[in-house]
Structure 1
Amino acid sequence: MANVGGMDRVLRFIVGIVLIVVPFVAPSVAALSGLGVWAWVVGAVGLVMLLTAVFRFCPAYVPFGIKTCDR
């Protein structure tokens, strides 16, 4: 049962990749600013966004009845 489609899926994929890469690109900046743990939280959020794009299903959409796909 897909509820993510089209542009929503593309944006989730792109933002997810960017958020996953953040902890690896700037680990020293995050550590110096005291955001080391938050950098990994951002990476985890990116992973969730990537997975929702790949599987075309967002559990957060279900309670609100949101569907961005044409099906």
Structure 2
Amino acid sequence: MTKNIGSLDRIVRIAIGVALIAATLTGTIGVWGWIGIVPLATALMGWCPPYAMLGFSTCAMKKK
């Protein structure tokens, strides 16, 4: 698995994941907030399956 998630994308995914999980734990949004595990996991791995299937990447381009 080559990384296809850039730095800014990772930060946003972590923030959204943590916010959703925190909202679930406080009882604000119910069990649907556990979906926050998905963006959190993809950010920690640095790889997103839909990005890979679509050939999309937010990683910085390496100069030769």
TM (norm. structure 1) is 0.74
Q: Which residue of 2 aligns with 1:56?
A: 46
Structure 1, unmatched stretches of 5+, are: 31-38
* Cα deviation digits, residues 1-58 of structure 1 (max 9, x gap): 1000111010000010001111111x2x55xxxxxxxx22222x21010011111000
User: Which residue identity is paired with 2:37?
Assistant: L
| Counterpart residue number, 1:42 | 33
Identity %: 32
What amino acid sits opposite 1:11 in the alignment? V
- Higher RCO (CA-CA < 8 Å; seq separation 6+): 1
**1:13 maps onto 2:14 in alignment:** yes
The aligned residue for residue 35 of structure 1 is none
Q: How far apart are the structure 2 equivalents of 1:63 and 1:57?
A: 11
TM-score relative to the length of structure 2:
0.81
More helix by share: 1
Partners of 2:6 and 2:49 lie apart in 1 by 14
Q: Provide the aligned C-alpha RMSD in A.
A: 1.5
